[in-house]
Amino acid sequence: MSEKATFAAGCFWGVEETFRKISGVVDVQVGYAGGHTQNPTYQQVCADDTGHAEAVEIAYDPEKVSYGDLLNAFWHMHDPTTPNRQGPDVGSQYRSVIFYHTEEQRKEAETSTQSMNQSGAFQKPIVTEIVPASDFWRAEEYHQRYFEKNSRGVCHI
């Protein structure tokens, strides 16, 4: 039986591709999480007024990959020390967020964040939000598996 994990780490195209490559990840879909608008569109999220972050919802087999392994991948695929920015992408829709689905995920995310801050892996403190998962709005179909469909995709407009 698969479990669910949800993360935001900047442009969702690259985040999706990175998580898809992890053994034990069953499926990844891109979408919008953490906002206040019902069923937002990409254009609304890009306008930075819905409160959503570009996010990925992951189905994974906990017997093949742990939540801790997913957290480790999350820390290494983006810069969790930059608020509302990843590379050239700027806006709250690109913020770093761990959306936890269980109390165990919350505790593991907090412990992992403390460990990463203490490890010296980053020169600045981590600003990643750790918040309860709420509605996840699946992005438009053309965003799903974007890099598989578009060999020259970039993560900013």
Question: Which position among 9, 11, 53, 97 bears the catalytic label?
Answer: 11
Summarize pLDDT for 14-70 with one digit per residue, the tens: 999 999 999 999 999 999 999 999 999 999 999 998 999 999 999 999 999 999 999
Domain positions in the chain: 3-149
- Spatial distance between the Cα atoms of 121 and 75, rounded to a whole number of angstroms: 10
- Spatial distance between the Cα atoms of 149 and 142, rounded to a whole number of angstroms: 8
Q: Domain 3-149 classified CATH 3.10.180.10?
A: no
- pLDDT at residue 157, rounded to an integer: 38
Catalytic residue status for 11 = yes
- pLDDT band of residue 152 (cuts 50, 70, 90) is low
Examine the pLDDT at 146 and tell me if it is beyond 90: no
Residues 145 and 30: beta-carbon distance below 8 Å: no
- pLDDT at residue 149, rounded to an integer: 85
- pLDDT band of residue 155 (cuts 50, 70, 90) is low
